[in-house]
Structure 1
Amino acid sequence: MNGEIELVSDGDGVAIFGDPREVDLFLSTAGVPSQEIALHQKLGSALNTGSGAAQAGSQIAANSGRWVKLTEDSAKALKLGKAMKGSSDGVSRAIATTSKGKVTKILEFVKPGSVGSMLTNPAMLAGAAGIMAQLAMQQTMDEITDYLAKIDEKVDDVLRAQKDAALAEMIGVGFVIDEAMTVREHTGRVSDVTWSKVQGASQTVATTQAYALRQLDALAEKLEKKKRSVGDVAEVAAEADATVEEWLAVLARCFQLQDGLAVLELDRVLDAEPAELERHRAGVQAARRKRREQIATTTRSLLARMDAAASTANEKALLHPFKAGNVVRSSNEVAADVLVFNERIGIDSTRDAIQAKRWIVAVGEARDKAVEAGGEGVDVVRRFGIKTFEDAKVVGEKLGQEFAERMPQRRSSHDADADNER
């Protein structure tokens, strides 16, 4: 038996509307997690006026709505292909036929009011899109909560230390926003009282975000300035290894709070000016993309500087094997932290771990380059410099001495016992 469902996507997620049985079968067959879209609860007041209010209300009551976060995996599981890429207004809609829980055909793209579309009322589409935006932001907020929980010690060190005024103010604002989200969860709306408590909070959060971004930019600039000296680079890389995750935790919390404010804002607009909801939703999402791009610019710049530092250190591994190895190790640690953070807030980025060059490999490369230069003896010394080879010899002797000093002391004791037996 064939059925019909309506699909609505804003690029961040896809909403599925239709007969509850068809929707449940479709989602269970795809095997993707979903959340309920409480259209009737959210849009009741917005649909109380107009001749189509009663009809719109009955349509909502008769149909089910579920939201799925749109990822590469979920799109593949839902078998949407390129059908839900979004239209010029940022929201794409389609009617699909289903059979045994699977999409058999995308019938057509529809606009509000089209025959067969559940979203016959423009307010319903705007409301659905607004709720979808809220669900996407709340999903990110939950993922950031999980991220912060995994690095709880870092959060304790930075977010709760309150050494900087900007951080202290952000922590206080965070408590207020969290409280407002809790009240909203229990009441289903944002009252005048609740909204009055969070007004002005965005400035504090934005100031803290800018402060954290400056800290990361400063580290990147230090790496650029110190790149000629392996010793200096090693110090800055170690500093980055120790502090980057802390500032990423601050940025994550800022992003989370800004999403929380946006969720509250959309509810407030829906209550006060429902006709403005769609334009406000578009503005909120544009602002969110801009925030994400600002963070991406900083984190990608830091990654590029860390990679450049690791590459430079590897080139000097012959004379500075330990420091070069430390730089590469710090670079990989920082990169891992940044990639996890980027994923949590929706920034696409990839990077392969850099391997530290072993000293013996560096020696071999230096020898090979000398041979390729076409000379032995005097020619080799002339090309690479007497000092370079003398320094390499000293490094080799130091390595041997350090390895010897690190050997277990029990060997000396064993040798002494053997002498006594003689």
Structure 2
Amino acid sequence: MIDDDSNELIPSDSGDDDASGTRNDSADDVQSVTIIQDEQGITFLGDAGAIDLWLKDEGFDSKAFKAKAVQTVSMASKGAQAADNAMAESGRWVKLTKESAELVAKYGKNGKKGNLFSGVARRKNGNIVKHLQFTKADQLNPAMLTGISGVMAQMALEQAVSEITDYLKEIDAKLDDLLRDQKDQTVSKLAGISHMIDETMLIYRQVGSISATTWSKVSGCPQDIATIQAYAIAKIKGLTEKVEREQDPKQVRPLTQQIRQEIHQWLGMLASAVKMQDQVSCIELARVCQEEPEQLEAHKKGVVLARNKRLEEIEQSLNALGRQLETKAGIVGGKVLLNPYSSPHAIANIESLTGDLNTFASTLQLEHIHLHVEDGPTWIQAAGKAVDDTGKALQNAGQQTAHAVQDAGNAIAKDAQDTGAAVARGMQDAGNQAAHIAQDAGNAIAKGAQDAGAGIADGVQQLGKGIASGLKQLPEIKLPIFGRGKK
């Protein structure tokens, strides 16, 4: 995906020393090379032949930075000095990758002593053709830098178109099937738009400029291209929803088989839409550079932002489908024992589908799609695992039962021991209580008898005292004395 800040150019630093320690001082043997880098690619301006030899020796393929590019730069830098134009007349362009960025870091940045490394252009037999001396781009005027920036953006788009074209060749048969079945109005537009854009690009390469007539051929295409992209995304979302709804593992196999038959058509439509829009954007940049060079930098940034937005929408739809497929693969893989035929076939289909999505993402440089599906277990593996798990479960159950019986025996023995001890303690306590009760009863009886005797004695004593007192209270009775009287 192109970076939004791709309008910022990164010129190299300058220096004169040759880090290799071998060079000729003859002017004819020394070639000055200007390195200009943006977020899409790297341009090496100078002797294209010598630069190409050097890049190949370093392991890089490059594209010529001349012809159409020179004319576009000249248009953008009206009034530039002839030296500036000569500087841009020849060179090579390399796509920005991790490896090419390291190349610039090696040759285009300061060495340990503040000096630049110098390259050597060699023929296949090893003979030195040129010593390359890398310089910075501050000798180019701003208009020239703007023009070069626009050309570099075009070359990045053309490189993307080339990569997508290679991808489409691989799925050509599936896409042809779709184009032949032109029942749908949206699909039927695809071939016509593609043909018109290819024709316009051919004229542009031949003439080197975009006339009003040439521009009119493609000026209305972006709307139709957007419709085609939206159509393909909608189809992929429909497939995603089908996968999400399907809960029966037995039905995943026929569903994924259906998706395999369709996916190349919709991926082909998406790739074609991106390719056609990149071609139109390339023509747009040439048109703006020709008619409104002062707007080129801003227009280039707008092109980059719009492209990133389109790719982001595609990336989101493909990621959603990929995540659903990964989820279903995990579910189906766990059901292989009960579905020995459908599960392995479903997983194989899903692996094929995620591989197709990853290939598409790599072609369009979609950075956040990295789908992976683990190979599901075979039926024999699943059965072996089930037997093993069952054996382990039975062993664990046996061990748990043995522990439970042992624990129960220990509990019973302990309960019996505790019960016996409790009974013994109870009997001892009962005997002690009986003895205490008997003693208390004897003491109570003895004390009762003693108290009773004392009470009786006291009562008798009190009774006697009462009788005596009562007698004292009676009136005195004088009785006659019998046998005594007058004689």
TM-score, normalised to structure 1, is: 0.77
Whole-angstrom CA distance in 1 between matches of 2:294 and 2:74: 14
Structure 1 partner of 2:330: 311
Question: What's the counterpart of residue 68 of structure 1?
Answer: 94
Identity %: 32
Residue by residue over 1:35-72, the C-alpha shift from the partner in whole angstroms, topping out at 9 and shown as x without a partner, is 111243222222233xx4444334435xx321011233
Residue number in structure 2 paired with 1:11: 39
1:27-66 → structure 2 map (5 Å cutoff): 27-38=55-66, 39-49=69-79, 52-61=80-89, 64-66=90-92
**Counterpart residue number, 1:80:** 105
Match of 1:161 in 2: 181
> How far did residue 129 of structure 1 move?
1.5
User: What is the Cα deviation at residue 345 of structure 1?
Assistant: 1.4
Change (3 A) 1:285 1:332: same
> What is the deviation of 1:154?
0.3
Deviations 1:135-187 (A, max 9, x none): 11112212222222222210111133212111112222111111111111111
Q: What is the deviation of 1:75? A: 4.1
Distance 1:147 1:365, change over 3 A: same
Partner of 2:151: 131
Deviation of 1:105 (Å): 12
Q: Does 1:247 align with 2:275?
A: no
User: Could you tell me how far apart the structure 2 residues matched to 1:124 and 1:223 are?
Assistant: 54
Q: 2:206 aligns with which of 186, 190, 197?
A: 186
Residues 226-280 of structure 1: per-residue CA shift (max 9 Å, x gap): 1x21123223211111111111111111111010110110011011100111111
Residue 281, structure 1, aligned to residue 281, structure 2: no
State how far apart, in whole Å, the 2-side matches of 1:81 and 1:372 are. Answer: 61
Q: Cα gap change, 1:252/1:125 in structure 2, threshold over 3 Å: closer, same or farther?
A: same
Partners of 1:124 and 1:307 in 2: how far apart? 50
- The residue type paired with residue 211 of structure 2 is S
Q: Give the aligned residue type for 2:185.
A: A
Aligned-pair CA distance for 1:97: 4.3
Q: In 2 relative to 1, CA 146–320 (structure 1 residues): closer, same or farther, beyond 3 Å?
A: same
C-alpha distance in 2 between matches for 1:155 and 1:365: 44
TM-superposed CA distance for 1:216, in Å, is 0.9
Is the partner of 2:45 in helix, strand or coil?
strand
Q: Which of 233, 242, 246 is the matching residue for 1:213?
A: 233
Letter in 1 for 2:306: A
TM-score by length of 2: 0.67
Aligned-pair CA distance for 1:21: 6.1
Q: CA deviation at 1:372?
A: 4.3
Distance 2:77 2:351 in 1: 54
Residue 100 of structure 1: SS of its match in structure 2?
Answer: strand
Greater Cα shift, 275-284 or 290-299: 290-299
Looking at structure 1, the residues matched to 269 and 317 of structure 2 have their Cα atoms a distance apart, in angstroms, of 14
SS in structure 2 of the partner of residue 190 of structure 1: coil
Cα separation, partners in 2 of 1:221 and 1:166, compared to 1, 3 Å = same
Supply the distance in 2 between the matched residues of 1:160 and 1:198 (Cα, whole angstroms): 23
Contact 2:33 2:133 survives alignment (8 Å)? no
Distance 1:375-1:206 versus aligned 2 partners, 3 A rule = same
Shift of 1:199: 1.3
Note if 1:330 corresponds to 2:349.
yes
Task: Kindly provide the amino acid, as one letter, of the partner of residue 80 in structure 1.
Answer: A
Secondary structure (helix, strand or coil) at the match of 1:316 reads coil
Point out where structure 2 has 5 or more consecutive residues left out of the alignment: 1-22, 24-29, 110-114, 123-130, 402-487
Distance 2:163 2:293 in 1: 29
The match for 1:299 among 290, 307, 318 is 318
Query: Residues 101-136 of structure 1: CA distance to partner in whole angstroms, max 9, x if unpaired?
Result: 49x99989x6x6x3xx4xx22121121111111111
For residue 299 of structure 1, report the CA deviation from its aligned partner. 1.5
Could you say what secondary structure the match of 2:332 adopts?
helix
Quote how far apart the aligned CAs of 1:359 are: 1.0
Distance 1:320 1:199 in 2: 55
What is the count of residue pairs matched by the alignment?
A: 356
Do the aligned partners of residues 83 and 58 (structure 1) sit closer, same or farther apart at CA in structure 2, a change above 3 Å counting?
closer
Contact 1:205 1:258 in 2 (8 A): yes
Residue equivalent to 1:264: 283
Partner of 1:401: none
Q: 1:5 to 1:237 in 2, by over 3 A?
A: same
Mark the CA change 1:160 to 1:70 in structure 2 (over 3 Å): closer, same or farther: farther
- Please state whether the residue corresponding to 1:159 is helix, strand or coil: helix
Contact 1:141 1:260 in 2 (8 A): yes
Aligned to 1:131, what secondary structure does the other structure show? Answer: helix
Contact 2:73 2:151 in 1 (8 A): no
1:193 maps to amino acid:
T
CA spacing shift, 1:25–1:149, aligned 2, 3 Å = closer
Q: Where in structure 1 are there 5+ consecutive unaligned residues? A: 85-94, 380-422
Q: Which amino acid aligns with 1:311?
A: G
- Cα deviation, 1:304-354, whole Å, max 9, x if unaligned, reads 211111111010111011111121011011112112211211223444453
**Cα contact 1:219–1:236 (8 A) shared by 2:** no
Distance 1:198 1:318 in 2: 57
Cross-structure match for 1:393 = none
Distance (Å, rounded) in 1 between the aligned partners of 2:281 and 2:366? 19
Matches for 1:85-124 after TM superposition, within 5 Å: 97-101=117-121, 114=138, 117=139, 120-124=140-144
Separation in 2 of the partners of 1:191 and 1:301? 43
1:7 counterpart letter in structure 2: I
- Higher mean alpha-carbon deviation, 135-144 vs 21-30, is at 21-30
Mapped partners of 2:164, 2:196: distance in 1: 18
Q: Deviations over 1:355-382 (max 9, x none)?
A: 1321121122223333444337xx9xxx
